Structure 1
Amino acid sequence: MLKCLKIVFFLLLVTSAVQAQKIGFVDSEYILNKHPDYKIVQEELKKQATAWKKEAQNLEKEIKEMYNALKAEEVLLTEDMYKERMEDIRQKEKAASNYNTRVFGMNGEYYQKQDELMKPLQSKIFDAIDRVSKRNGIAIMFDKAADLSMIYTNPVHDYSDFVIDELGIDESSVNKEKEAQGTENTTEENK
């Protein structure tokens, strides 16, 4: 009986402790899109990716030109010369494949560059989330944009705008910027 009473008392303590904890969530994707530095990071990453893609396309173009030259001269080449040219083409294809893997593959230069550019911004956002959580007495903060499935979220528990305020992002300037971009896109579409 005493043992059963201890278990009930323990469960009551745990239940009351859990009920006293405050839980909230943020949408890191929403916060990132509101942050002005995110656009700068995206533009820089896009510029670098474009340069890398152009290099990959140049390699593919060289390979195609090598195949075309081989096909045009095929009748004039000896068997050894043909094999030598085919080996050169295979080496170029291998180099192109290695380049694509090195740049765009898993943990490639593209993802390393993305990580390098995003890390300072993510750190700022995480620090702001930490300060908002502590200020509001939040024990557990979820990220709505993460892989964690959130079937229902009550907007009352959304602290994303608090984080945006903590980062010092002026909502009105972000909204004006979006409106200006919308106007530019509409103007370009009408041309």
Structure 2
Amino acid sequence: MKNFGGLILALLLLVVAPEAQAQKFGWVDSEFIMAKMPEYAKAQQELNLLSDTWQKEIESLQKDLDKLHRNYQNEEVVLTEAMKKKRQDEILLKEQELKAYRNKQFGYEGQLFKKRQELNKPVQDKVFEAVEKVAKKKTLAVVFDKSGDLTMLYTNPAHDYTEFVLEELGLGAEDRNQPGPKGTVKTVAPPKTPVDPNFESDSGTPEAAPATKPQTKPARPTKKK
């Protein structure tokens, strides 16, 4: 979430000093975290419904415009210049209305953009608060957002605090960030290989040679005297 990157990157400014390199730092994946949140999924569903509704309205306006174009082309030869001008102005007006409506709903800072900010802001604030709590608990001076505007060419899993943030939100996996099992570690003895009494080992233990069938030489033909 590119817009959300600025929220996480605010923690980056917690320590701005020469000794900042000696401080603990970590990173999280805000997009992964938000994808796990039910309220984020609900917001996306609402946005998809709005987008589909507005898209159908645009398609309806486009059909009306296409119909005006076809009628004009079919009747152009029988229209006077004044009638042509009127039809052309009508088509131009419909084109402008369609363009304006499309920009209003899907353009930069249009209705979809504003609605997305409105629905996502509570979720983003919740994630930011969880990140801040984890940063304080783990004494992190800097927290990067892997999915933000900051390009991260390499991320060491040892500094990944994404799962801790999910735990803070009550969405952590039970098999992550948990201590290992306590008590005596049981080892399983490898199965013993059966010893063949006829096999000679490297230690020089004598072995019986494998039984082979005696080879019989064919009898030589005798010369007749």
TM-score range normalised by the length of the shorter chain: 0.7 to 0.9
Equivalent position of 2:54 in the other structure = 52
The within-5 A match list for 1:115-154 is: 115-154=117-156
The within-5 A match list for 1:83-162 is: 83-162=85-164
| Aligned partner of residue 141 in structure 2, secondary structure | strand
For residues 73 and 79 of structure 1, what CA distance do their matches in structure 2 show? 12
For residues 33 and 75 of structure 2, what CA distance do their matches in structure 1 show? 59
- The one-character-per-residue Cα deviations of 1:25-71 (angstroms, maximum 9, x if unpaired) are 00001101111212111111100000111111111111001111222
Which of 18-27 and 42-51 deviates more? 18-27
Letter in 1 for 2:61: L
Equivalent position of 1:32 in the other structure = 34
Matched, 1:77 2:73: no
For residues 105 and 74 of structure 2, what CA distance do their matches in structure 1 show? 33
Structure 1, unaligned runs of 5 or more: 1-13, 173-191
Shift of 1:88: 0.5
Greater fraction of residues in helix: 1
For residues 48 and 170 of structure 1, what CA distance do their matches in structure 2 show? 31
Structure 2, unaligned runs of 5 or more: 1-16, 175-225
Equivalent position of 2:184 in the other structure = none
For residues 18 and 106 of structure 1, what CA distance do their matches in structure 2 show? 38
- The one-character-per-residue Cα deviations of 1:96-139 (angstroms, maximum 9, x if unpaired) are 01111111111111111111110000000001001110111011
Shift of 1:170: 5.2
Letter in 1 for 2:170: G
| Aligned partner of residue 138 in structure 1, secondary structure | coil
When normalised by structure 2's length, the TM-score is 0.67
Shift of 1:156: 1.1
For residues 144 and 37 of structure 1, what CA distance do their matches in structure 2 show? 21
Identity %: 42
When normalised by structure 1's length, the TM-score is 0.78
For residues 171 and 108 of structure 1, what CA distance do their matches in structure 2 show? 38
For residues 142 and 126 of structure 2, what CA distance do their matches in structure 1 show? 19
Whether the 8 Å contact between 2:65 and 2:95 is mirrored in structure 1 is yes
For residues 19 and 103 of structure 1, what CA distance do their matches in structure 2 show? 46
For residues 109 and 171 of structure 1, what CA distance do their matches in structure 2 show? 36
Which of 126-135 and 162-171 deviates more? 162-171
Equivalent position of 2:65 in the other structure = 63
Shift of 1:75: 2.8
Shift of 1:146: 0.8
| Aligned partner of residue 149 in structure 2, secondary structure | coil
